[in-house]
Structure 1
Amino acid sequence: MECRLCLGPAPAASSVSIFGDPHPERLEQRIRTCCQIQVKRGDGLPDRVCLSCKTSLELLISFRKACFRNNESSQLRLDDCSKIKTEEVLLEDLIWDDEPSQSTIQRKNSEMCLKSFPSESELILHKRSHPGEKLFKCDICLKSFIRKNGLVSHLRSHKGENTYKCEICLKTFTKKSFLDNHKKLHVVIKPHKCKICLKSFITKTKLVLHLRSHTGEKPYKCEICLKSFTQKSSLGTHTKLHAGIKPHKCDICLKSFIYKLGLVSHLRSHTGENPYKCEICLKPFTQKSHLVTHKKLHAVIKPHKCDICLKSFISKSKLMSHLRSHTGEKPYKCEICLKSFSHNSSLGAHKKMHAGI
Structure 2
Amino acid sequence: MMECRLCLGSAPAETSVSIFNDPHPELEQCIRTCCQIQVNRDDGLPDTVCLSCKTHLELLMSFRKACFRSNETSQLRLDDCLKIKTEEVLLEDIIWDDEPSLPTIHQNNSEICSKPFPNESKLVLHTKEKPFQCDICMKSFTHKSTLWSHNKLHTGVKPHKCDTCLKSFIHKYDLMLHLRSHTGEKPYKCEICFKSFTRKSCLWSHNKSHTGIRPHKCDTCLKSFIHKYELVLHLRSHTGEKPYKCEICLKSFTQKSNLESHKKSHSVLKPHKCDVCLQTFIKKNALWYHLRFHTPEKSYKCEICLKSFTRKYELSLHLRSHTGVKPFKCEICLKSFTQKSSLMAHKKLHIGI
Q: TM-score, normalised by structure 2?
A: 0.46
Q: Whose RCO is larger (CA < 8 A, sep 6+)?
A: 2
